[in-house]
Amino acid sequence: MFETLTGRLNQVFEQLRKRGKLSEADVDAALREVRLALLEADVHYTVVKDFISHVRERAIGHEVSKALNPAQQILKIVNEELTSILGQPVGLNLSGDRPRVILLVGLQGSGKTTVAGKLANLLRSKGERVVLVAGDPYRPAAIQQLQVLGDKVGVPIITDPNLKPPDLVELAFDKAKNGGFSVMIVDTAGRSQLDDDLMNELRAIARKIPIVETILVADAMLGQEALHIAEGFRDAVSITGIILAKMDGDARGGAVISIRSVTGVPIKYIGTGEKIEALEVYNPERLASRILGMGDMLGLIERAESAFDEKAAQDQARKLSSGDFSFEDLAEMMRSTRKMGPASQMLDMLPGGFGQRARNISSEDVDRQMKRTEAIISSMTIQERRHPDILNASRRRRIALGSGTEVQDVNRLMKQYQEMQRIFKMMKKTGKRSINRLFG
């Protein structure tokens, strides 16, 4: 989502690095470019105005003039001010008597039902006993969609299309309490726009049961409109948090930067993809780092930890470090890597030059190449996967035919495999010096 903004800001900082010492005119020229980049990204104009003012005040003062590297110091200031705008992380409130009720609200199409499933999956993984309530009897297939998601994550659903939502949630609350559930997530109905009927139904639900969190699910791709929607819900039903869905889209992303500052309501989670696991805890520092092209290595590590089985990961690391790995091991590593999410998101988490170079490679090209490689490996016999050295010309022709690829593709994979073996064996022998030689 931030690719265009990140590119523009990186150009500004690159120009500053070339200048060495910075005059006040240099700072003003750079901040004009930053202002334009933020406005084009759909950041609210009052937020941009305050942000530029704070950065300029610090950038032309003692903090930068005495710095050994003024450009890096300005980048540090921009990072700190951007983090400040994005707000402090505020966790989900799960205090009080059980079941703790989380009410999801929002307009039609914002992704409430999908987020309900994702949130249920996340909380269940943390040891909570979760139940979902299908409080949208109006949208066709809304109940069925929630049931499919519930089955997928192993969470029960409470529904009754004959009951009005306020009566249903009251019934569901009693069932959840008697059933020993710790969290009850209510998926409510939406409307195409803010109206009295929608708000009255939400208020009626709130009168029936105690609610610990009223979370607005907002479509991050709506830009400035997401701000107006958040303000409307905040004024009508006292929302306690926001989940920004569809953060993996191609919108300009300014709403994410603005929404916390303009509404005063904390962002709790962000949706980063279609998979049920694609819901991340909102972390302002790491998000600011990604916007500025500084990467998010902690996020990348966390995704890897959740995707890789610990014992399997240790075995794979041992085989890699020794250079003694087969095509079976390579295929398993690729399957685990794909669990981490779309290639574009992984590339976006790489810092600095690594991320910029990687983004020049199309995410679709990366995914296509991985699928082609898996197809080639799948067309091998067990013996061929475990002992690639036996792959003579006739075997390679058979594998190419079976995988729907060309012999050149099989030859290319063999060459890449042999190169990987060579690199890892060299790293084992020479340690850190070889890593510096490879990536320096």
CATH number at residue 40: 1.20.120.140
Q: Do both 267 and 307 map to the same domain?
A: no
Q: For 306-350, what is each residue's pLDDT tens digit?
A: 666 666 666 666 666 666 778 888 787 777 666 666 655 555 555
d(CA 75, CA 71): 6
Q: For 281-304, what is each residue's pLDDT tens digit?
A: 888 887 777 777 655 445 555 555
Residue 225's CATH number: 3.40.50.300
Query: Which residues share a beta bridge with 244?
Result: 218, 270
- Per-residue model confidence (pLDDT) at position 147: 92
- Per-residue model confidence (pLDDT) at position 411: 93
When pLDDT is cut at 50, 70 and 90, the band that residue 439 belongs to is very low
Q: Is the pLDDT of residue 16 over 80?
A: no
Q: Do both 148 and 262 map to the same domain?
A: yes
Q: Do both 220 and 352 map to the same domain?
A: no
CB 157 within 8 Å of CB 134: yes
**Which DSSP letter does residue 325 get?**
-
Residue ending a domain, among 293, 313, 330, is 293
Residue ending a domain, among 293, 325, 345, is 293
Q: Do both 266 and 318 map to the same domain?
A: no
- Per-residue model confidence (pLDDT) at position 176: 94
Query: Which residues share a beta bridge with 187?
Result: 104, 134
d(CA 325, CA 149): 38
Q: Do both 195 and 282 map to the same domain?
A: yes
When pLDDT is cut at 50, 70 and 90, the band that residue 65 belongs to is low
Report how far apart, in Å, the C-alpha atoms of 191 and of each of 91, 139, 198, 380 are. Answer: 28, 9, 7, 53
Q: Is the pLDDT of residue 127 over 80?
A: yes
| Mean pLDDT rounded to a whole number for the chain | 79
Q: For 218-237, what is each residue's pLDDT tens digit?
A: 887 777 777 778 888 888 78
Residue whose token pair is 């010492």: 21
d(CA 185, CA 100): 8
Could you tell me which residue, 181 or 426, shows the higher pLDDT? 181
When pLDDT is cut at 50, 70 and 90, the band that residue 437 belongs to is very low
Range of the domain at 255: 100-293
Mean pLDDT over 378-405 rounds to 92
Residue 174 lies in a domain: yes
Mean pLDDT over 264-286 rounds to 85
Residue 431 lies in a domain: yes
Q: How many domains does the chain have?
A: 3
Q: Is the pLDDT of residue 35 over 80?
A: yes
Q: Do both 203 and 344 map to the same domain?
A: no
- Per-residue model confidence (pLDDT) at position 299: 55
Residue 94 lies in a domain: no
Phi-psi region at 43: left, alpha or beta (left = phi > 0; alpha = psi -120 to 50): beta
Q: Is the pLDDT of residue 79 over 50?
A: yes
Mean pLDDT over 242-268 rounds to 77
Residue whose token pair is 């042999």: 418
Residue ending a domain, among 86, 110, 135, is 86
Residue 60 lies in a domain: yes
Q: Do both 347 and 258 map to the same domain?
A: no
Residue whose token pair is 């610090």: 58
β-strand 267-271 against 279-281: which pairing, if any?
A: antiparallel
Residue 308's CATH number: 1.10.260.30
Q: Do both 156 and 263 map to the same domain?
A: yes
Residue 95 lies in a domain: no
Q: Do both 224 and 353 map to the same domain?
A: no
Q: Do both 77 and 200 map to the same domain?
A: no
Chain centroid, CA 44 distance in Å: 22
What DSSP element (H or E) covers 240? none
* Residues sharing a CB contact under 8 Å with residue 140, sequence separation 6 or more, in sequence order: none
Residue 131 lies in a domain: yes
User: Cα dihedral angle (316, 318, 323, 329), rounded to 10 degrees?
Assistant: -20
Residue 91 lies in a domain: no
- Per-residue model confidence (pLDDT) at position 251: 54
Q: Do both 339 and 277 map to the same domain?
A: no
Q: Is the pLDDT of residue 376 over 80?
A: yes
The pair of structure tokens assigned to 348 is: 């976006």
Q: For 189-222, what is each residue's pLDDT tens digit?
A: 887 677 788 888 888 998 999 999 999 998 877 7
Q: Do both 367 and 400 map to the same domain?
A: yes
Residue 118 lies in a domain: yes
Could you tell me which residue, 105 or 255, shows the higher pLDDT? 105
- Per-residue model confidence (pLDDT) at position 345: 58
Please return the burial class of 437, using the count of CB atoms within 10 Å of its CB with bins 0-12, 13-18 and 19+.
Answer: exposed
What DSSP element (H or E) covers 302? helix 297-307
- Per-residue model confidence (pLDDT) at position 378: 92
